[in-house]
Structure 1
């Protein structure tokens, strides 16, 4: 009997000590996103398809190449902050790229992947993008597996100060928003990434803004089936592994 593929959720939530843990006590999993992602797997009915590994990279936990698929989450920290744990993530990304194993990057993960591959991330001069907002799919995005089951009216959770202003060479832009010219990218080699959060919930996003700007917390509304994009990635990844 073949072992289940090993799926890692790599959290880079925030630099330790840079936020108030007490704000997260009423949210599923608290500030531990690896617990919240496990709940997504269970809700999607895909939990039994994988051996799940949660990695809190921002707390110094080691990231391995011994996974079959991975999701790299978002972060309060800017990709330019230069924390040691961020450098370790970038080293891992460089090594993971060679394996051609499936990877989904989300928000800060999207930006980390772009930088490692030679793209550029900068601060948005217009300020942060916040709320439950739709994207405009490009022609490539309209036929891409990530967006299966979604339309141009489908909203996603946004909460970002930085953005990818120059994508890596060879990357295909899948979706845009005003002031976000590269809201979703296919990097080839089984790497895809999105600036928004399809993996999370409105309460988690609202909680993120408690210490930054409480008024912004009001801009999130419930999005049913938002996690369908993560499910699309996981099912596609299973097909990739089966064909390897």
Structure 2
């Protein structure tokens, strides 16, 4: 099964050198499930021919805001709607979570509560999820048909399901402790408040439920989601 990765940003150089870029992190997260991957750097204006080019689709994270004025955002939103209309499975993570919501009629904003960085606990339909996060923007208004499947006191719309076809999550199941450590070293200083940096550093080795997220994504791609 071929998964198309719509790459909406690039990892910092030191992360790319040590851990790989965002598509590599997702391929590692979803390894062992019979998937092949093809990356389309939509951030550079390079798009697939259409939603039938792959069997399923995944939209990555990005340092950009979904509401920002970039020339590649409107065609990405149109492509997301084309994927939906074609009935192809679609997964979105962080920026992907936000741009899918925005493309389908929701609202994304810079959250007045500030940043979420590092290990976070979310309430889900099945219990608790523990995932690494890195974001300031949030989905603040749901699109029609979206159902909240994970939330926290800080992030009300932490994961959304749109029937059995689309699943999106605000946190980063593909981010290991090493990835968060890399971001803390390259993108946090002067941007993320120092107390949040310290708290995230202290929780670096907290175990996550990333494999449960990988299983959910895999089930959705294979048409077995519950």
Fold conserved between structures, TM > 0.5: yes
Match of 1:233 in 2: 217
TM-score, with structure 2 as normaliser: 0.84
TM-score (norm 1): 0.79
Give the Cα–Cα distance (whole angstroms) in 1 for the partners of residues 96 and 23 of structure 2.
Answer: 14
Provide the secondary structure at the position in 1 that maps to 2:223. helix
C-alpha distance in 1 between matches for 2:215 and 2:18: 22
Q: CA deviation at 1:225?
A: 5.1
Residue 132 of structure 1: CA displacement? 0.5
Over the residues paired in the alignment, what is the CA RMSD in angstroms?
2.3
2:151–2:158 contact (8 Å) kept in structure 1: yes
Aligned residues: 214
Task: Note the 1:1-244 alignment, pairs <5 A.
Answer: 5-14=1-10, 21=13, 23-24=14-15, 26-29=17-20, 32-42=21-31, 45-46=32-33, 49-63=34-48, 64-65=50-51, 66-137=53-124, 141-142=125-126, 151-152=127-128, 154-188=129-163, 190-214=165-189, 215=194, 216=197, 218=201, 220-222=203-205, 223-224=207-208, 226-239=210-223
- Residues 119, 83 of structure 1: CA spacing in aligned structure 2 closer, same or farther, 3 A cutoff? same
Q: 1:199 deviation in Å?
A: 2.0
Give how far 1:172 is off. 0.9
**C-alpha separation between the residues in 1 aligned to 2:28 and 2:171?**
19
Query: 1:8 touches 1:54 (CA, 8 Å); kept in 2?
Result: yes
Structure 1 ranges of 4+ moved more than 4 A: none
1:171 CA drift (Å)? 1.2
How far apart are residue 213 of structure 1 and its match?
2.4
Contact 2:165–2:220 (8 Å) recurs in 1: no
Gaps of at least 5 residues in structure 2 are none
Q: Give me the whole-angstrom Cα distance separating, in 2, the residues matched to 1:53 and 1:88.
A: 19
Aligned residue for 1:227, secondary structure, equals helix
Cα displacement (A) at 1:127: 0.7
Distance verdict in 2 for CA 1:210–1:81, change over 3 Å: farther
